[in-house]
Amino acid sequence: MEATINSRERLPQLDIYRAMAILGVLHVHATSFATVEAVDSRFYFMINFINIFFKYGTPSFIFLSSFVLFYNYYDRPLTKGLILNFYKRRLLFILLPYLLISIGYFGIRLYQNGMLSGPLDGSALWADFWHRLITGKNYTHLYFVFISLQFYILFPLFLLLFKSSKFLVRWAVPIGLLLQWGFILWNKYDLKFVDKGSLAISYMAYYVLGAYLAIHYDTFKAWLSSSWKDQTPRQRKGTFILWVGWLAMGLSHVLIWYEARLYSNWHDSLWYEGLWNMHTMFSALVLMQLTNWLFNSDWSMMKSMLIRIGELSFAIYLVHPLWLAFYRLYDFNLNPVTDDYLIWVYGGMVTALVISAIVVQTIMKYMPGAWMLLGSVPKSLKSKMPSPPKGNPKRDVRAGGRSRSVDW
């Protein structure tokens, strides 16, 4: 069994993928206000473009999480010990930080709403906190961690199904699309569930796409990692179709939202859902290929920077809204139609990345137990302070890169 476990190579380039995914998230969050405030700006197309084109972040993280899990676990015997260790590590490095960070953001919401200046109803606050916790709503971005937890709960079942049925593996992507779109249509015409974006079923296609690529990675590896000049004619054809499809879906997604936001030219909601789905599924694969190209390039400084951002991506995701909320308090009364406003908006993205990275690196390096709040700590930042419970991280490290202990 040990020979089987070590037969597949490590994939340290996935930290670059994480970096590009978190950059997508930051671009979207930094421009969210501007899409409403700056509709009269001559730069509105650019603002809308950034806000929509970079929406690949969350789906790409889901795709990557699934890829890492199946790459790590698919060839291993499905035992009780394996499952217990899997849940133990997710409990320590995902669920615990989610709980603690949710408490912090809940307190911030109380402060923002002016509720800390008067008497508090403990039972009502507890009920509100608990509802927000189990729906990922203690702050606007925490829904994604909540979605990830749903997939972690389901992962052993998916693993068992895929290991026991070649049919399911072969048709995984169509089945995933069918499940996701079956729910979308059911919800649109019958359920009317408002917060469907907080349910894992809404992202099923990305999850099974990651699983499918992980299971067949040896087949796709040469295509994904070879540069254009080294690809075979068939591989070049696949690359051309992938990138042209990505640009076509991405630009269509941008334009349909531009027409809606600027001219109130709205279409049926399924058009927005469909273009988002196709744009972000293409994006997940484009990022995988781009990740390998960057990793194999001679741009050592860029690679080092992206790898470090990727190592910190989970922690950056958790804390960056704090900086954005603070940053927006100081808008200097800028008129949204002026050129300075665009610079200020993009400055929010840049500073959210830089400040968040500095803060989480400092906390991880010097604060004991930082993993409880921010998740797994990269090896390069670990001090000689007490470590969290170790379990058996060997298998988790392999696909996640040089310093990852759990998937993200």
Q: Which pLDDT tens digit goes with each residue over 238-250?
A: 999 999 999 999 9
Instruction: List pLDDT tens digits, range 60-100.
Output: 999 999 999 999 999 999 898 989 999 999 999 999 999 99
The residue-averaged pLDDT of 31-35 equals 96
Rounded Cα distance, 127 and 137, in Å: 13
Query: DSSP per residue over 21-62, as a string?
Result: HHHHHHHHHHHTTHHHHTTTSTTHHHHHHHHHHTTTHHHHHH
From the CB of residue 322, how many other CB atoms can be counted at a distance below 10 Å?
18
Least confident of 26-40, 78-92, 296-310, 394-408: 394-408
Q: What pLDDT sits at residue 1?
A: 34
Cβ-contact 86, 18 below 8 angstroms: no
Q: What is the DSSP string of 254-312?
A: HHHHHHHHHH-----HHHHHHHHHHHHHHHHHHHHHHHHHHHTSS-HHHHHHHHHHHHT
**What is the structure's pLDDT at 9?**
81
Q: State the average pLDDT over residues 253-273.
A: 97
Give the residue with greater pLDDT, 190 vs 397: 190
Check residue 395 and give its pLDDT.
42
Q: Mean pLDDT, to the nearest integer, of 284-297? A: 96
What pLDDT does residue 232 have? 96
Quick check: 312 pLDDT over 60?
A: yes
SS3 content of the chain, % helix, strand, coil (to 5): 75, 0, 25
Question: Mean pLDDT for the chain?
Answer: 91
Q: Tell whether the model's pLDDT for residue 52 goes beyond 60.
A: yes
Q: 388 falls in which pLDDT band (50, 70, 90)?
A: low
Confidence of residue 393 (pLDDT cuts 50, 70, 90): very low
Q: Provide the pLDDT confidence category of residue 408 given band limits of 50, 70 and 90.
A: low
Q: Which two tokens mark 95?
A: 């669920």
Q: Would you say the C-alpha torsion 161, 162, 164, 168 has a positive or negative sign?
A: positive
Q: What letter would DSSP give residue 234? A: H
Segment among 53-62, 220-229, 382-391 with least mean pLDDT: 382-391
Burial of 269 (0-12, 13-18, 19+ CB in 10 A): exposed
Measured CA to CA, the distance from residue 137 to residue 231 in angstroms comes to: 45
| pLDDT(405) > 50 | no
The angle at the Cα of 110, spanning 109 to 116, to the nearest 5 degrees, equals: 155
| Residues 19, 316: Cα–Cα separation, whole Å | 10
In this structure, what are the phi and psi dihedrals at residue 171, rounded to the nearest 5 degrees? Answer: -105, 25
Residue 403 has pLDDT above 70, yes or no: no
Q: Are 78 and 385 in contact (CB under 8 A)?
A: no
| For residue 400, pLDDT beyond 50 | no
Q: What is the pLDDT of residues 318-377, one digit of tens each?
A: 999 999 999 999 988 899 999 999 999 999 999 999 999 999 999 999 999 999 999 999
